[in-house]
Structure 1
Amino acid sequence: MSEQTQNQTKKFFLGNMLAMAATVIWAGNFIAAKILANAYSGLEMSYWRWLIAMIFAFPFAMKHMKQDIPYIFKEWKLMLFYGGIGCFFSNLLLYNAPHTAPAVDMTILMATSPLLMMFLSWIFFKEKINPFWIMGSIIALIGVCVLLTKGNFKIFQEVNFTVGHFWTLGCSFFFALYSISLRLFKEKINIWVFLETTFIIAFMTNFSSCLIFNQALPVIHSLKDFGAVLYIGIFSSLVAYICWNKAIELIGAVRTGIIYYLVPVFGSFFAVILINETIGIFQLIGGTMVLGGVLICTCFKNH
Structure 2
Amino acid sequence: MKRSSNFIPHLFASISVIVWGVTFVSTKVLIGQGLTPLQIFVYRFALAYVCMLPLMRRLWANSLKDEICLALGGLSGGSLYFLTENTALGITFASNVSLLICTAPIFTIILDRIIWKTPLRKSLLVGSLIALVGVAVVIINGNLEFKISPLGDFLTIVAAILWAIYSIIVRKLSRTYDTFFISRKVFFYGVVSVLPLFIASTSPAELSLLGRSAVWSNIMFLGIMASMLCYMMWNVSVKALGADKASNYIYVNPLVTIIASAIFLGEPLTVFTFIGAAAIIGGVFIAERCG
Q: TM-score, normalised by structure 2?
A: 0.83
Partner of 1:128: 119
2:252 aligns with one of 256, 262, 282: 262
Would the alpha carbon gap of residues 189 and 22 (structure 1) be closer, same or farther in structure 2, given more than 3 Å must change? same
Would the alpha carbon gap of residues 106 and 129 (structure 1) be closer, same or farther in structure 2, given more than 3 Å must change? same
Task: Letter of the 2:15 partner, please give it.
Answer: A
Q: What do the CA deviations read for 1:72-119 (whole angstroms, capped 9, x no partner)?
A: 756211111111332122112212222333334323332221111111
Give 1:287 shift: 6.0
1:180 aligns with one of 149, 164, 168: 168
Partner of 1:3: none
**Aligned with 2:225: secondary structure?**
helix
Give 1:22 shift: 1.1
Would the alpha carbon gap of residues 187 and 253 (structure 1) be closer, same or farther in structure 2, given more than 3 Å must change? closer
Q: What do the CA deviations read for 1:98-147 (whole angstroms, capped 9, x no partner)?
A: 2333334323332221111111111222111222233334445656777x
Q: Does 1:90 align with 2:81?
A: yes
Whole-Å separation in 2 of the counterparts to 1:154 and 1:288: 14
Do the aligned residues in 2 keep the contact of 1:144 with 1:264 (CA within 8 Å)? no
Would the alpha carbon gap of residues 173 and 143 (structure 1) be closer, same or farther in structure 2, given more than 3 Å must change? closer
Task: Letter of the 2:81 partner, please give it.
Answer: S
Task: Letter of the 2:243 partner, please give it.
Answer: A
1:47 aligns with one of 42, 47, 68: 42
Give 1:202 shift: 1.6
Would the alpha carbon gap of residues 137 and 163 (structure 1) be closer, same or farther in structure 2, given more than 3 Å must change? closer
Task: Letter of the 2:58 partner, please give it.
Answer: M
Partner of 1:105: 96
Whole-Å separation in 2 of the counterparts to 1:92 and 1:185: 24
Partner of 1:57: 52
Q: Does 1:243 align with 2:238?
A: no
Partner of 1:216: 203
1:190 aligns with one of 137, 158, 178: 178
Question: How many residue pairs were aligned?
Answer: 286
Do the aligned residues in 1 keep the contact of 2:101 with 2:159 (CA within 8 Å)? yes
Whole-Å separation in 2 of the counterparts to 1:295 and 1:163: 28
Whole-Å separation in 1 of the counterparts to 2:126 and 2:6: 21
* % identical aligned pairs: 21
**Aligned with 2:39: secondary structure?**
helix
Whole-Å separation in 2 of the counterparts to 1:204 and 1:155: 35
Q: TM-score, normalised by structure 1?
A: 0.80
Do the aligned residues in 2 keep the contact of 1:140 with 1:261 (CA within 8 Å)? no
Whole-Å separation in 1 of the counterparts to 2:91 and 2:10: 34
Whole-Å separation in 2 of the counterparts to 1:70 and 1:279: 47
2:107 aligns with one of 116, 125, 137: 116
Give 1:54 shift: 0.7
Would the alpha carbon gap of residues 24 and 237 (structure 1) be closer, same or farther in structure 2, given more than 3 Å must change? same
Task: Letter of the 1:103 partner, please give it.
Answer: A
Do the aligned residues in 2 keep the contact of 1:137 with 1:293 (CA within 8 Å)? yes
